[in-house]
A and B are shown apart, each in its own frame.
Chain A
């Protein structure tokens, strides 16, 4: 093993390798996967001079700790948190030099849920179908980080320019998700459709990379039959028999048999990835573009 690698000292609750995912294989049952907060992952890469498609680490709530075997530049974006190098505080949202053998600690999110850690050269695990992303639904890509795991790093590109700092949106206190209705809003009572776009839901603690689950009013169906399996898109709001809407995120199944009442605009999904359990959620109906 070369010295361009990271050793995992503390994996945290759930830390995965993510890049831009593997779209284009849904017809084989392969989810798109990829960083849930794409803009934060892209910014982390820019801060260390990586290409946008480089793989980064995606943490969940309580960060992680890793030890690079060679000197690297890292940047932590997404959910704000304490960053330290060998115990000394370091900048969040800016390039940080980590000497060979030093311990990089990414702390618990003080707001939001998922932090992104880019390392110069990118995480260079073997790609699967063109992507290094961990897909938690179907098990493609590298397994989530474990203590002692060693992740290879790619070669930094010296020609890429770095940015020093960049503004980032604050994680949302309230999630306002713009939705277009359909394709199966006619499977619900008019009252249920009204409740969907006017009432306030809360982010459920059962949310994960597959879907943002909600608690709140149950949406009643008008048609009680079974919907034959049909293709699902990112951002689809599927309503299972319990009536609680689920917003499909990157690791969502490619087909499903529960009706989709509406679809969240893709540009609103990064904020959904940072919403902690209990965050109020409203679905704002918008016209199709």
Chain B
């Protein structure tokens, strides 16, 4: 674990894998909840956790680098199910990249349990991990100027669902009617870091 200072009030804690980042994030959230860590933002990402709004970042950096990456937290009990139709415009391309039929892409994807590794890009957009590394796919060479809300896409090791229409370069394999973000709802985001997710194929 390496803690890089960021400005005067933040730390970027670097670990060696996405799983470690998720474990560290869960531990830091737990420490904040119990009152032993005072911080404004805890932002997990691919291999880092950013802590912003710290009063004494140097002290926390020393403490963190002297400690081990915490063990993976017990998994959340609840699984969020997202109904999905595997009808995306890039389904055939993804099938070709995986070397399987489009039906098999749907079967593999719907048979995987995902975890929200982190959020970003747009409110409510989660980067979901769970597919084995052999199913990593590149982004599209040319991003689309408008990806419809509810599109289910793949990029690198991640699956994501577009909370609203936006430009995007992910390979689109399906569509969900689930509302990923609704600021009138509590919580506004359906998915947050650590949430378990399953895609359920709909007819």
| A interface residue numbers (CB < 8 A to B) | 23-30, 128-129, 138-140, 180, 182-183, 228-233, 235-236, 253-255, 260, 263-266, 288-289
User: Cβ of B1 < 8 Å from any Cβ of A?
Assistant: no
Known contacts A27-B41, A183-B12, A254-B43; is-contact A140 B6 (Cβ 8 Å): no
A260 to B48, CA, bound (A): 14
A140 to B189, CA, bound (A): 13
B121 touches A228 (CB 8 A): no
Q: Pick the contact of B44 from A27, A129, A232, A233 — CB < 8 Å? A: A27
CB of B191, distance to nearest CB on chain A (Å): 9
User: Cβ of B193 < 8 Å from any Cβ of A?
Assistant: yes
Q: Pick the contact of B5 from A140, A183, A255 — CB < 8 Å? A: A183
| Most chain A CB inside 10 Å of its own CB: which residue of B8, B12, B127, B189 | B8
User: Cβ of B60 < 8 Å from any Cβ of A?
Assistant: no
Q: Which 6 A-B pairs have the closest CB atoms?
A: A231-B50, A263-B7, A231-B43, A228-B46, A255-B120, A183-B4
Which A residues are in CB contact (< 8 Å) with B48? 228, 230-231
Which B residues are in CB contact (< 8 Å) with A30? 123
B45 touches A228 (CB 8 A): yes
Interface residues of B in 107-157 (CB under 8 A from A): 118-125, 127
Q: List 28 A-B contacts (CB under 8 A).
A: A23-B40, A27-B43, A27-B118, A28-B124, A29-B125, A138-B123, A140-B123, A140-B183, A180-B5, A228-B45, A228-B46, A229-B46, A229-B120, A230-B46, A231-B41, A231-B44, A232-B50, A233-B7, A233-B10, A233-B50, A253-B120, A255-B120, A255-B121, A263-B10, A265-B8, A266-B9, A288-B5, A288-B7
A73 to B128, CA, bound (A): 50
Closest to A286 in B: B8
CB of A141, distance to nearest CB on chain B (Å): 9
A23 to B42, CA, bound (A): 11
Which A residues are in CB contact (< 8 Å) with B41? 23-24, 26-27, 231
Number of chain B residues close to chain A: CB under 8 A: 36
Which B residues are in CB contact (< 8 Å) with A139? 164
A139 to B181, CA, bound (A): 12
CB of B71, distance to nearest CB on chain A (Å): 21
| B interface residue numbers (CB < 8 A to A) | 4-10, 12, 40-50, 52-53, 118-125, 127, 164, 183, 188-189, 192-193
A151 to B43, CA, bound (A): 34
B49 touches A288 (CB 8 A): no
A235 touches B7 (CB 8 A): yes
B49 touches A29 (CB 8 A): no
A265 to B122, CA, bound (A): 26
Q: Pick the contact of A288 from B8, B43, B47, B127 — CB < 8 Å? A: B8
Closest to B193 in A: A27
Add 8 more A-B contacts to A29-B123, A253-B121, A255-B120 (CB < 8 A): A27-B193, A28-B188, A29-B125, A129-B188, A140-B123, A230-B50, A233-B52, A255-B121
CB of B189, distance to nearest CB on chain A (Å): 5
Q: Pick the contact of B120 from A29, A180, A265 — CB < 8 Å? A: A29
Which B residues are in CB contact (< 8 Å) with A260? 6
Closest to B121 in A: A29
Q: Pick the contact of B45 from A182, A230, A235 — CB < 8 Å? A: A230
B6 touches A182 (CB 8 A): yes
Known contacts A24-B41, A288-B5; is-contact A231 B12 (Cβ 8 Å): yes
B6 touches A26 (CB 8 A): no
A231 touches B52 (CB 8 A): yes
CB of A227, distance to nearest CB on chain B (Å): 9
B42 touches A27 (CB 8 A): yes
Which B residues are in CB contact (< 8 Å) with A233? 6-7, 10, 50, 52
A236 to B10, CA, bound (A): 11
Which B residues are in CB contact (< 8 Å) with A255? 43, 45, 118, 120-121
Closest to A289 in B: B8
